[in-house]
Amino acid sequence: MYDRPIVCHLSCDLLIKLCDATGEGCFGDKSYRALCDAVRDWLAHDHPAIDHPPRAKTGYQWKQIFLPEGTELRATIKGIARYATVEGNRILCNGQALSPSQFANADRVVRNAWRVIWLRLPGEDWERAANLRDSHRY
């Protein structure tokens, strides 16, 4: 265990109160021990922010935009709409992981994925991928 002091920022009024409470005129050994004890005591209690940090947001990063988990993708190919969903950090279509380009060009015709893919982010309406990218909302 490391028991070497490090620089720790503390508001001036708190430092003065700490030094007064320990009877020291400035930050010394007693103040150091009191501060360490106070932090140890605080950590010993149940603190949800420490014990249960918020889960990292999962999704798929598509160049400039982030597609959160649950985002739906739609591309119409030869008059037939195909759908995919962002699950975890992958785009899945019929159980197969695809890149946006692979999804847009499933019929082996080269298309610009930004122009042919429509996205529906969780809680939002369908929007063309290029419009979402250009709006810089995500």
pLDDT of residue 71: 96
- Is a pLDDT exceeding 60 seen at residue 28? yes
Contact 64, 133 (CB under 8 A): yes
Highest average pLDDT, of 5-14, 95-104, 128-137, comes from: 95-104
Token pair recorded at residue 54: 């918020």
Question: How many CA atoms are closer than 13 Å to the CA of 44, on its beta-carbon side?
Answer: 6
Which of the pair, 18 or 120, is modelled with greater confidence? 120
Could you tell me which residue, 37 or 54, shows the higher pLDDT? 37
d(CA 82, CA 34): 64
Residue 30: exposed, middle, or buried by beta-carbon count in 10 A (0-12, 13-18, 19+)? Answer: middle
**What pTM was computed for the model?**
0.59
Taking only the tens place, the pLDDT of each residue in 66-117 is 999 999 999 998 888 999 999 999 999 999 999 999 999 987 778 899 999 9
